[in-house]
Amino acid sequence: MRIVIRDVRLNALASDNDAEAAAKKQLNSVFGANGFRNVSVYRSSVDARHVNNITKVFSVCADIECNGISDDVLKKLNATVLENGALDVKYGNEKAEYRPLIVGFGPAGMFCGLVLAENGYRPIIIERGNDISERDRAVMLFRTKGILDTESNVQFGAGGAGTFSDGKLVTRINDKNCRYVIESFHKFGAPDSILTNAKPHIGTDNLGRIVSAIKERITECGGEVFFNTRFEGYKKIGGGLSVKTSKGDLSCSTLVLATGHSARDTYTNLAEAGLEMVSKAFSVGVRVEQLQAEINRSVYGRYAKMLGNAEYNFSYRKGERAVYTFCMCPGGHVVEAASEEETVVVNGMSNYKRDGENSNAALVVSVLPEDCGGSLFDGMNFQRQLERKAFVMGGSDYGAPIQTVGDYLNGTSGSAPTRIKPSYMDGKRNRLCDLNGLFPGYINSFLKEGLCRFEKKIKGYAPADAIMTGVETRTSSPIRIVRNEMLLSPTLDRIYPCGEGAGYAGGITSASVDGIRVALKIMERYKPLV
């Protein structure tokens, strides 16, 4: 039996060896020296809520040499029994006439395809963007020369939008398959640290080769992945569906819609086909850049140089609306994330070492469906309007509108960057603007509330010379594709809405887990094909 001892709390500079020694002492007091083995750190984090009393907190696992442990013993150790990361696989009896087809090779589609492929279902996956190498070239061409490929960019291509991010695997969902996701990323080449860090991250510089390795595993198991292949609609045929793509029609038994949150034309195609969808809340705002060294000092105090790059996560709610930070990238830069012509969209990314001068995070305000209007696509159109307005404000050449925090709060403009340099397009395509003119009043009001409140929590978050870059609009989908408890669309029982684009996830891990859930449901229904 394997257990995890929680909350082994030690000093700020404690090592994994220190945590294992402390856990062994606890275990020895209960089971004796020969009653346990294989003691190792399961997870570690830094508790920096009080800068004058920073501690490291560990969870330590061990194999216990007995068949059972009483609840009283577990309580005494502050421990729980550790479930393994294996999937709960069940095979159905229904025979599929065709192979399953997955639209999108982001985290949801990738893990759905991986699980199906490794269990004999030979999925077909289509992705509108390029493979990793060609996608890298397209992204770099946009960053350096402002030439946008609308089919292959930061949003579209192998690995989805997550490929050009920090690769954060932190999630708020409580699902046992989260461990499977982390272990799978590690198996395909992610750093060892993701297995134990409470806030694991892979790094943009590692994600590409990991995504390629997962793709190779899928094809090795009989699946197929077709890049530069855009989904354009579907129709029902006997025993399955005929899916229209930019490279011809494909037949499938089931259709997994894992398109991501930026495939706006896909939403239009699905609506025209009569698929049930509803509008949902989303968030918009800016990227705020500050000096990483100042964040480190504020969070870690005298341990700043020893504990690595600090992170932050803030939120403030008033009524139904909130302002919060999202996707914090220590030592990273602001990413050029447009996927449509004559729009500006920003996101954030950082490499594994997180060794850049700046940190950045989205500062966003929730937008409710009623803020935009009553129809399905009003939220999507609101996003697009902001992106087009940001394009014009940024100079109509894909440059981004920027402003210092001080100017934004004071209603002035024109203060050029000083200590903190904007990183969007390597600082070469930015234009000083008044971001008050970009957003509606309620968004400006909440952004200012957040800047002032969060600077009080961490000095250095929003100094007067911090840089705000607009516009962040792709935090989540403004639309949900309706599904039932079987994860099927009520419109057609061969369609599985999945992941972030369908409105059921937010981030790499939760999207991956949703892809796994859908794969397990398909397997529970159908027999393997091989």
136-183 pLDDT, tens digit per residue, is: 999 999 999 999 999 999 999 999 999 998 899 999 888 989 999 999
Q: Which amino acid is at 70?
A: S
Task: Say what the pLDDT of residue 294 is.
Answer: 97
Mean pLDDT across the stretch 175-204? 96
**Position 458 confidence tier, pLDDT thresholds 50, 70, 90:** very high
Distance (Å, rounded) from C-alpha 13 to C-alpha 306? 8
**Position 84 confidence tier, pLDDT thresholds 50, 70, 90:** confident
Distance (Å, rounded) from C-alpha 411 to C-alpha 201? 37
**Position 14 confidence tier, pLDDT thresholds 50, 70, 90:** very high
The helix/strand count (H/E) of the chain reads as: 13, 23
Distance (Å, rounded) from C-alpha 289 to C-alpha 275? 40
Backbone φ and ψ of 350, nearest 5°: -155, 150
Residue 128 has pLDDT above 90, yes or no: yes
Residue 468: Cβ-neighbour burial (10 angstroms; 0-12, 13-18, 19+): buried
- Specify the DSSP class assigned to residue 65: S
Distance (Å, rounded) from C-alpha 480 to C-alpha 270? 12
Distance (Å, rounded) from C-alpha 367 to C-alpha 447? 12
CA-based diameter of the chain, in Å?
Answer: 71
Omega prior to 471 cis, within 30 of 0: yes
Query: Quick one: which of 163, 160, 142, 186 has its CA closest to 424?
Result: 142
Do 246 and 230 contact (CB within 8 A), yes or no? yes
Residue 174: partners with Cβ closer than 8 Å, 6 or more residues away: none
348 SS3 class: strand
Query: Quick one: which of 175, 133, 172, 125 has its CA closest to 152?
Result: 133
**Position 228 confidence tier, pLDDT thresholds 50, 70, 90:** very high
Residue 8 has pLDDT above 90, yes or no: yes
Q: Which residue has the tokens 């600082």?
A: 427
Helix (H) or strand (E) holding 57: strand 55-64
Residue 229 has pLDDT above 90, yes or no: yes
Tokens for 353? 């070492």
Residue 468 has pLDDT above 80, yes or no: yes
Tokens for 365? 């305000």
Mean pLDDT across the stretch 275-299? 97
Work out the percent of the chain whose per-residue pLDDT is above 90: 95
Distance (Å, rounded) from C-alpha 530 to C-alpha 527? 9
- State the chain's mean pLDDT as an integer: 96
Poorest-pLDDT segment among 59-68, 212-221, 284-293, 517-526:
59-68
The CA distances from residue 504 to 42, 103, 208, 475, 487, in Å, are 28, 15, 24, 13, 10
Task: Indicate if the alpha-carbon torsion angle 64, 66, 70, 73 is positive or negative.
Answer: negative
Q: Please, what is the Cα angle at 336 between 449 and 346, to 5 degrees?
A: 20
Do 473 and 380 contact (CB within 8 A), yes or no? no
Task: Say what the pLDDT of residue 192 is.
Answer: 97
Omega prior to 518 cis, within 30 of 0: no
Do 99 and 221 contact (CB within 8 A), yes or no? no
- Report all structural domains of the chain as residue ranges with CATH numbers, in order of start: 2-81 (3.30.70), 101-278+479-525 (3.50.50.60), 281-472 (no CATH)
508 SS3 class: helix
The CA distances from residue 385 to 150, 156, 500, in Å, are 17, 20, 22
Query: Quick one: which of 373, 384, 386, 368 has its CA closest to 438?
Result: 386
Residue 416: partners with Cβ closer than 8 Å, 6 or more residues away: 432
Which residues are bridge partners to 278 per DSSP? Answer: 480
> What does DSSP say about strands 101-103 and 255-257: parallel, antiparallel, or unpaired?
parallel
**Position 396 confidence tier, pLDDT thresholds 50, 70, 90:** very high
- Specify the DSSP class assigned to residue 437: G
Do 530 and 524 contact (CB within 8 A), yes or no? no
Task: Say what the pLDDT of residue 85 is.
Answer: 74
